Amino acid sequence: MNTRNRPQSRFSKAFTFVEATFTIAIVGIMSALAISAISNGARDANRIVARQQQAAVNEALTTWVMSQTRVGNTAQMRSLAGLRTQYNALETSLARFNLLVPNPASSDVNVRNGYLDKSTADHFLEYTTNSERLQSKALKSSGLYLSLPAWQDGGFPMVELASE
């Protein structure tokens, strides 16, 4: 059989170099987009956890203020100015954070049980290496930290979420 005179098929059975190059380029672009989406998702998840941790510490701090305004089981109230002085006397964020941590040796039930649950407090204390930057695993991996700045006149103390 003579193959020279045989008409060629409309469809070739192999890819040309150009087709293979385009296919590889498209697969590479799609892979880059998928990897970017996955990494952005993880970063966003860490930021959400960081905001939740900020809210938990802020709530614990507000609870501490409210519990400290009452003098024992009496109707007497302590002034916010006195509490502000006590709070600001602690000069670092870590020292202020320790006001919220459970202390089993205390005779005060609120302090003994803490204003933060023990596992959350331990998690922060495990990852905090700088007395001005409170960190957790999620905060470290997203490049963020919590700070407890000095309590300003008018209002309550705040927990700030900042980037490194």
- pLDDT at residue 15 in the model: 75
Tokens at 30, concatenated: 């799609």
Site of tokens 């045989």: 6
Place of tokens 């459970």: 102
Domain segments of the chain: what residues?
Answer: 17-163
- The pLDDT assigned to 46 comes to 83
Backbone angles phi, psi at 98, to 5 degrees: -65, -15
Number of CB atoms found within 10 A of residue 142's CB: 21
Q: What residues contact 102, with CB distance under 8 A and at least 6 apart? A: 111, 112, 113, 114, 116, 117, 118, 121
- Write out the chain's pLDDT in tens, 164 residues: 555 555 565 666 777 888 889 899 999 999 988 888 777 777 788 889 889 999 999 999 998 888 888 766 666 677 888 889 999 999 999 999 998 988 766 666 556 678 888 888 888 999 998 889 999 988 888 889 999 999 998 888 999 999 88
SS3 of 145, please? strand
Give the pLDDT score at 131. 87
- Considering the entire predicted model, what is its pTM? 0.71
Give every CB contact of residue 126 below 8 A, 6+ residues apart in sequence: none
What is the structure's pLDDT at 5? 59
**E strand spans, the chain:** 144-147, 160-163
